[in-house]
Amino acid sequence: MGMGLSEYTNRLVRQYIPKNTDFCHLDGQDVKQIQYKQKARKKIRFGKPKRRFFRALK
């Protein structure tokens, strides 16, 4: 059985932010660092989500 998109995304985030972490202690810089560590996804032909998003806007 496959894993849903939100579960997959949560698993990726949990690599950097452990479960039960209080998000009040994270600042914008912490979030940006995690964003830039996005992994390529098989579902979008191994492209990175942010790159694909901005390419679609053009």
Among 14, 7, 39, 11, CA closest to 51:
39
> In the prediction, which pLDDT does 1 show?
47
The pLDDT tens digits of the residues spanning 8-27 come to 778 878 888 888 888 888 88
- Residue 4 or residue 42, greater confidence: 4
> Over 80: is that where the pLDDT of 5 sits?
no
